Amino acid sequence: MARLILCFFAEDTGIFHGEGRFTATIEQMSARDSANTHEVISELFRAMNTRTADRAAAKIARWAEVFPYVNGGLFSGSTHVPRFRAPLQRL
């Protein structure tokens, strides 16, 4: 949760160099039914834990490379993200 809060804060304050970049990336790269949203967020966290010079070797997705390396350990360790699902549709 702390990781997401930081990302939304960074998005709102322009740290991610682009208005709504974090949210837009998740929206653009996630499947319509949200089946892979956890994988998208996990890759963003992995990118933010990988120094720019090390990203090619780490095989960071190209769409995640625009996010800065965040020093301090917040994104270190497990990048496990809970699975999301689309809201139930009313009939």
pLDDT at position 91 over 60: no
Would you state the torsion angle of the CA atoms of residues 52, 32, 84, 46, taken in this order, to the nearest 10 degrees? -10
Q: Which amino acid is at 55?
A: R
Give the per-residue pLDDT at 1: 83
pLDDT at 35 over 70: yes
Task: Dump pLDDT digits (tens) for 65-89.
Answer: 999 998 878 888 776 787 766 665 5
CB 48 within 8 Å of CB 69:
yes
Give the Cα separation of 91 and 58 in Å (integer).
Answer: 45
- Give the predicted TM-score (pTM) of the model: 0.83
Is the confidence at residue 19, as pLDDT, over 60? yes
pLDDT at 48: 92
- The pLDDT score that the predictor gives to residue 77 is 77
